[in-house]
Amino acid sequence: MDAIRYYSRTGNTKKLANMLGDLLKIESKSIEVPIDEPVNRLYLGGGIYNMNVDEHLKTFTSRLDPHKVTEVFLFGTSGSLFTVGKQLGKILDEKGIKVSSDHLFLHGLMPKLGNINKHQQEEVKAFVKETVIE
């Protein structure tokens, strides 16, 4: 089983999570929905706010059970060049949860104006193709 969880303050990461969900045929859910069942691949996403990952997303990540999550694929949105990768990767590494080298970070998405352009849509499709095991 695979799962998608995200935290989105402005709606941009939610748009991206829903696009991933459509392509992966997995329902994307907010981090308010815990991971109760074991998952092989967890697609975990969020945005950058004032150069930091939101505390809600950090807390969710720190509470993940390494016995229930095999591997995490990080994704996110940002108006800048910063990503959620470094901060969440550190938390996941400390918990012993594998972080995939395949990740997706879309830049240049401004709060509430973030339309995922055609080039970014192709990036999303390529990310899905890279992470899906046939």
Give the pLDDT mean for 47-73: 90
**Nearest to 91, CA basis, from 132, 120, 33, 52:** 52
CA distances from 34 to 25, 85, 90, 118 (A): 19, 20, 20, 32
Q: Which helix (H) or strand (E) holds 41?
A: strand 39-49
Would you state the pLDDT for residue 116? 79
pLDDT at site 112: 56
Burial-class residue 95 by CB neighbours within 10 Å (0-12, 13-18, 19+): middle
CA distance 68 to 62: 13
On average, the pLDDT of the chain sits at 88
Task: Please say whether the dihedral angle defined by the alpha carbons of residues 111, 73, 33 and 16, taken in this order, is positive or negative.
Answer: positive
Q: Tell me if residue 26 falls in helix, strand or coil.
A: coil
pLDDT band at 37 (very low <50, low <70, confident <90, very high): very high
pLDDT band at 39 (very low <50, low <70, confident <90, very high): very high
Residue 12 has pLDDT above 90, yes or no: no
The residue behind tokens 């016995």 is 67
Q: At what angle do helices 85-95 and 55-62 cross, to 10 degrees?
A: 20
pLDDT in tens, 70-128: 999 999 887 666 677 888 999 999 999 999 999 988 877 655 555 778 888 889 899 99
Q: 2-131 sits in which CATH class?
A: alpha beta
